[in-house]
Amino acid sequence: MSSRQSRRDRRAANRALVNRANAQFSTGPKTEEGRAIVSQNNLRHGLSGTFQVLACESQEAFDALFQKLAAEHRPANPLEEQLVQNMAQHFWLAQRAIGLQEKCFNELGEVAPEKEKQLALYLRYQTTHERAFHKYTAELRSLRNGKRKAEIGFESQKRYEAQEARRETAEERRRDLHKWAVLQAQAAYEHQEFKNLHLETPECRIPNRVQRILAAEAA
């Protein structure tokens, strides 16, 4: 090995050491401009990170999509509305991934070798966002079902309580009717006793009748 080659190898090794040392202290861009540049890195496709409608897309179209989903699912509270918002975003991103896939094909419908990785990436993002769309749809449906079950349980409890109140009212009425029937029969009996008392003759008068009636009443 020549001395020139040896010096090049040493310089390369030294640069590698310096780069590794500098990497220990690197925390990303320090300026606002640098941060802005980094934040735009994923906007080449916008399929990851914070959702936003790209400049090449239509905000009105996205708003119309959200309104359509909201009209279909009718969110009843902020949580349900957020789930519908998530559904709209992931549906939009899945469609964006499909549109980007189309750009990977040439006029002959073939994928150029340099586009194969991009196509695989867009396919993966399409699958990810379609799964997320169905996930939030299922969460909304589960939330609705749970709410409906709670409402059914509450309504069932109310029906049971109303049925018990009617049963108790009917039972109390039956007891009252029985009580008044007994009192009425007792009054009729006592009336007949006093009537018989006045109809008795001295010859057939029953001894101590009045005392027995009064004793029965006292008992």
Write the pLDDT tens digit of every residue in 51-83: 999 999 999 999 999 999 999 999 989 999 999
In a domain, 215, yes or no: no
Task: Note the pLDDT of residue 191.
Answer: 63
Q: Is residue 24 part of a domain?
A: no
Mean pLDDT of the residues in the chain: 75
What's the first-to-final CA gap in the chain, in angstroms? Answer: 134
Compute the average pLDDT of residues 26-55: 63
| Residue 111 main-chain phi, psi, to 5 deg | -100, 125
pLDDT at 97 over 80: yes
Query: pLDDT grade, residue 177 (50/70/90)?
Result: confident
pLDDT at 25: 40
pLDDT above 50 (res 18)? no
Residue 216 located in a structural domain: no
Specify the range with the lowest mean pLDDT, choosing from 108-117, 129-138, 144-153, 155-164. Answer: 155-164
Residue 121 lies inside a defined structural domain of this protein: yes
Q: Does a structural domain hold residue 150?
A: yes
pLDDT tens per residue across span 129-142:
999 999 999 999 98
Residue 140 included in any domain: yes
- 166 in any annotated domain: yes
Instruction: Indicate the pTM of the whole model.
Output: 0.51
4's tokens = 């020139």
Residues 6+ apart with CB under 8 A from 57: 96
pLDDT band for position 95 (cuts 50, 70, 90): very high
Torsion region of 205: left, alpha or beta (phi above 0 gives left; psi -120 to 50 gives alpha): beta
Percent residues over pLDDT 90 in the chain? 34
Share of the chain above pLDDT 70, in %: 54
Residue 190 clears pLDDT 60, i.e. is over it: yes
**Which residue's structure tokens are 């220990």?**
24
| Model confidence at 100: pLDDT above 60 | yes
Residue 78 in any domain: the answer is: yes
Tally the domains of the chain: 1
Range(s) of the domain holding residue 92: 57-178
